Amino acid sequence: MNDEIILQHGLTLDEFKVIKNYLKRDLTIEELGIFSAMWNEHCCYKTSKKWLKKLPTSNEIVIQGPGENAGIIDVKDNDGIAFKIESHNHPSYIEPFNGAATGVGGILRDIFTMGARPIATLDSIRFGEISTDKTNYLLNGVVHGIGHYGNCIGIPNIGGECEFDQTYDYNNLVNAMAIGHVKNDSIFYSKPKTIGGLIVYIGSKTGKDGIHGASMASDVFSEDDEDEKRPSVQVGDPFMEKLLMEGCLELMSSGLIESMQDMGAAGITSSSVEMASKGNVGVHINLDKVPLRQPLTPYEILLSESQERMLAVIERDNNEKIKEILKKWQIDYEVIGEITNTKRVVFSSNEKIVVDLPVDIIVDDAPEYDREFSLPKKRKQRNFDTSKLNIEKMISNYMNNLNYLDKSWVYNQYDSTVMGDTIKEPGQSAGVVKIHNSEKAIGASTDCNPLYIRINPEKGMMYTVLEAYRNLIASNIKPMAITNNLNFASPLDPNIMGEIVLSISGLSDIAKNLDTPIVSGNVSLYNQTNDRPINPTPVIGMVGSNLNWKKILQNKFIKENDELILLGKSLGSDFSPYFLQDQKITSSICEFNELLTPDIDLEIKNAKFIQKAAEKDLVQSSNDISRGGIFMSLIKMTQKNLGFSIEVNDEKDIFCEYSAGYILAIDQKNKEEVFSILNKDQIDFLSLGQVKLNTFEINSKKFNYSDMVNKYYKNFAKIIN
């Protein structure tokens, strides 16, 4: 086998040498395809797994940590929550509609493969400068794809984030998260148990779409790659996935199958190999039995990532019963192989063996690299001149910046209320849904601060997690656990590798401090085109609960004359990266000061107060303070002609980022009691002002309420259109 073919499959020549020395023979082209799929970054985490091992992954509430299709936490009374986030970055750049749509489909399969019924989705999407036709095309395609798939299958989208930055001009990011509910005694796993058990194929027929999808996701782009790689993008069918979901959930509840694995990245190859590895068994599959949409070679069948397909293991006696159930749901079903005791993966076609490999070499002996990395240089503190700024100019900068404007143009294309259990819809601090026929509320938020992480990956990661934490606290949701999607450029660059190492270190430290273990996740590397890398963008999905959904806090003003209270500590203009960037004080990454160390004790202290006050019904509404400071937190709270009048010492301070920052709206009748608790708990606070009808006032400066609100809620659609 020549070097060019090996390199085309994403393997290094050294990796191929290891494989050949182990096998002591030549490989078939199908076997080469298997190693191409299973030894890439997307599947085996060969660059990141050394560092991922350092993450905290368990505590008393974790039922299932990393290693299965999704993580699961216990929310009491036999209720479990399964959740995970994954990327579909490269496919969504090449073919935005199908790339984003199948990202949603794939993450939903990860959830119901565990026996959990999906109850919500979220997303985290990033694009380049909106002034380019390409970005506009990607934005419209991605949003349409997410909305189409989620709306058709009938799962509410309850939150997310959308950011624009020039570093994503050639690598937009599409991260999809899903949450599901499962009874703890009904969780389903992918580990097969019965030697001689039948391997069955469930779902859509296999086609040529998505071939080499996994290896493409671990590759650096060039600008000329789009047409060539387009066939690697999967094509989804949400209506088929709905049938598949219902059919699989019925099968699992009936006890007729013993294990199940979705055919996601690397298709039937990864699902069969992962099953064999987890069960410490072998598999023998006849590729001639695989249902096909069109004639395919064995190589194409093995590497196809056609959507809406599952692999399951059953006892022989259950075959006919399963067939009848799936016939009812109009789902293709075929026995294609069996579980063996050989600990080998064997695929045959036309009565010939085309693949015969030990499971160990594919999984256990997959590469693990300790790549060279560089630590960021220490920064010298400097003072920034903000004297020329005035409040009118600062507000204007925010009202013309896509990253601050209301994103209802995006999330209004998603059905957020289907299933009837949504408590808080997109556009607020966190999305919240009820567990059906229960009093329990489940909240979730996705967050990232790429600029912070560029300045200091370790501290920046801590700030990112704390932002997600505050989003949940502001909704009176107890933060419980994390899923992550680590989006970075090429790890072959020591500086990028340094960002990866330090980000994971920061994630580990803050997760331990908050007791929020990482139970699932995904790594997406090589997000760069030519020599243009993305900003480091490790996205956090945080999940939590409240046992009484009636105690959930809204993030909008409720009524006139409520007292506005500020909690937290301003970072000040010199240490607020987004303030400096967005007010055009500096743009070069080298010019920013070092990040302040997050005040974790203050974060926990303020969070406990809000939870206590909310449980006593002393808080009308709340909102966390993040990018855009007090100003953006307040304008996000405006609704139904309710605005605000506030007084502050330094006008610039209301635009800066905060540690442990919240705005609380308190009914006047509860004001004294709230102040008493704050003083007793030794919590610093400031009475900012009040909620006022049709008012937008800062330090006695009155702004036109309708004009400000219209700009915030409508300028996004105007700018992108």
Catalytic residues: 42, 88
> 518-524 and 478-487: which strand pairing?
parallel
Residue 553 tokens read as: 């806090």
- 276 contacts: CB under 8 Å, gap ≥ 6: 192, 282, 283, 343, 345, 359
Tally of CA atoms within 13 A in the half-sphere of 209 that contains its CB: 18
Cα(38)–Cα(192) distance, integer angstroms:
20
Helices marked H in 67-208: 89-94, 96-112, 133-153
- Are 634 and 663 in contact by the 8 Å Cβ rule? The answer is yes
> 537-546 and 478-487: which strand pairing?
antiparallel
Three-state SS letters, 432-484: EEECCCCCCEEEEEEECCHHHHHHCHHHHHHHHHHHHHHHHHCCCCEEEEEEE
Closest-CA residue to 157 (of 135, 179, 187, 132): 179
CA dist list (Å): 486 to 89, 491, 516, 517, 656:
12, 12, 17, 16, 27
Residue 693 CB coordination number (10 Å): 13
Cα(260)–Cα(245) distance, integer angstroms:
12
Cα(142)–Cα(125) distance, integer angstroms:
8
CA 250 to chain centroid? 28
- 183 contacts: CB under 8 Å, gap ≥ 6: 78, 79, 80
Residue 454 CB coordination number (10 Å): 18
Which single residue is written with the structure tokens 């299973």?
38
Cα(628)–Cα(633) distance, integer angstroms:
7
Letter string b/e over residues 611-621, b meaning 16 or more CB atoms within 10 A of that residue's CB: bebbeeebbbb
Which residues are registered as beta bridge partners of 623? Answer: 663
CA dist list (Å): 171 to 89, 383, 529:
7, 34, 7
Residue 665 tokens read as: 């709206």
